[in-house]
Amino acid sequence: MSQQQSAAPAPVTATVAERRDWWRDAVIYQVYPRSFADSNGDGMGDLEGVRSRLPYLRDLGIDAVWLSPFYASPQADAGYDVADYRAVDPMFGNLLDADALIRDAHGLGLRIIVDLVPNHSSDQYEWFKRALAEGPGSPSRDRYHFRPGKGENGELPPNDWESIFGGPAWTRVADGEWYLHLFAPEQPDFNWDHPAVGDEFRSILRFWLDMGVDGFRIDVAHGLVKAEGLPDLGGADQLKLLGNDVMPFFDQDGVHDVYRQWRHVLDEYAGERIFVAEAWTPTVERTANYVRPDELHQAFNFQYLSTEWDAAELRKVIDRTLEAMRPVGAPATWVLSNHDVTRHATRFANPPGLGTQIRTAGDRDLGLRRARAATLLMLALPGSAYVYQGEELGLPDVVDLPDEVRQDPAYFRGAGQDGFRDGCRVPIPWTREGSSYGFGGGGSWLPQPASWGELSVEAQSGVAGSTLELYRSALSVRRAQPDLGAGESVEWLRAPEGVLAFRRGEFVCVANTGGESVTTPAYGRVLLASGELTEADGEAKVPADTTVWWTTA
């Protein structure tokens, strides 16, 4: 039981409650709470800080806010190691702050989606502490994956699985047994074959639904169920295979039974609450399994996120995504950046590779130009879209953080991921000046670059052509255009090499991914463009790395 008491459920405004199938075309904004806004000057963002900035998000034009974890946690992995799923960590506030945030969001016509971390807990979670204390063979150990080791004296891990953060996926405890952790040692994996685990998480769902949240983003949604017997990979290079093959610890068919049970819980509540899956699968066809009518509502399209800024490759993944989602009746869910990957303003500066670093001002300008164009392309596609905090400001990754300030556990493990995630988590700038550019009164938990002030909300607001105003305009146009938002298909138009052109009713999108200007038909009235273009005699000259929206109406 949490020591914090929950308040009555937050009311939902009529505008929010009555909109049917809102999630099919929603634009959802990810807030990483520790890096969004700091209300008390301790250098760490918090729920009251998020609450104070809700009017900004409403005016930006988004439909819902997804909050990364704010639960009680030792913070071994930025809150993805949860010690109490029904409590707010004091660094972020308390349950009354969460309640106030939900109420204010609903009053502004915004929905709130919270993170849920069901694959693993913190090693400080009461269940795990009890499992350690009670020892081998105890019922408490069955709620996790405890195993004897291999070797003459059990000195070797039970199998050859590796942690996503590098190193073995097993840690040995004092009594000689080993426990499984696909991530950091402080994040032991639950055993979802044990009925108590399912019971607990259905209870956690109801706790937050009773608080008034509108849905859940499910962390590592593909990882809950492990293959029977926990078989070896047989020497395969696991880290190279991740996301490219079905693994014995990821994307197992049994995970879908969990989500069918969860869907029954969600459907007990009015207001169209939703689930969105963080499911890294080998193909979009496998991803579609998570969004069948009796399971989850959305699943991030990581195949799209991982695609380079290349017209032919983008068209392939767009076609394949729409084709995969059509039979299950689910919307495509597009995303370009989040808290776990290099921001696309940096990623597109010098592709390929998610770990790209900006080396020159020219690289930075190229990355931003491509990022702006990529955003308009994404927002023109059928379905829902996610925006990661700060991308509307054109923020790049911060690539020169000193080693002593880094906090990504992957960085310290020395293998696996390269620890790049800190670079996309630097607190965002609100004002041109100040010790933390308006983030808070006491600096920021990760240092911000000197260039942050000119990228701030204050510096870009009302400035024609700024990235912030481009996002505001794009979201306004998207909402106003009846042919944008939900849908199942696009009509591809003939276009020069390196150019994507498609029609959706009276709307036309042209995205030039090439390095040179191209000439296309002027399809009608220009609604929006990510860069300058010229039109004459029924033709348009579209610059390199530019997307244009037209209406033929």
Give mean pLDDT in consecutive 10-residue pieces for the chain, a chain of 553 residues: 42 54 97 98 97 98 98 95 98 98 98 98 98 97 98 96 91 98 96 98 98 98 97 77 77 97 97 95 94 97 94 98 97 96 90 48 86 98 98 93 72 53 94 96 94 97 97 98 96 97 98 97 97 95 98 94
Active site residues: 219, 268
| Residues 6 or more apart in contact with residue 464 via CB below 8 angstroms | none
pLDDT reported for residue 364? 86
pLDDT reported for residue 362? 66
Q: In the Cβ-directed half-sphere of 307, how many Cα atoms lie within 13 Å?
A: 23
pLDDT reported for residue 203? 98
Q: Distance of alpha carbon 313 from its chain centroid, rounded?
A: 22
pLDDT reported for residue 174? 97
Q: With H, G, I as helix, E, B as strand and everything else as coil, classify residue 383.
A: coil
pLDDT reported for residue 404? 74
Beta carbons of 33 and 46 less than 8 angstroms apart: yes
Alpha carbons 504 and 529: distance in angstroms, whole number: 17
**The model scores a pTM over 0.85:** yes
pLDDT reported for residue 406? 72
Strands 111-116 vs 215-218: parallel, antiparallel or unpaired: parallel
DSSP state of 162: B
pLDDT reported for residue 234? 85
Strands 274-277 vs 215-218: parallel, antiparallel or unpaired: parallel
pLDDT reported for residue 361? 61
Nearest to 357 by CA among 401, 309, 416, 393: 401
- Any idea which residue has 């500066």 for tokens? 349
Alpha carbons 308 and 458: distance in angstroms, whole number: 31
pLDDT reported for residue 438? 98
Q: Is 419 left (phi over 0), alpha (psi -120 to 50) or beta?
A: left
Question: Dihedral, CA atoms, 283, 299, 263, 143, nearest 10 degrees?
Answer: 70
Planar angle of CA 162, 163, 164, nearest 5 degrees: 115
Tell the burial category of 60 from Cβ atoms under 10 Å away from its Cβ (0-12, 13-18, 19+). middle
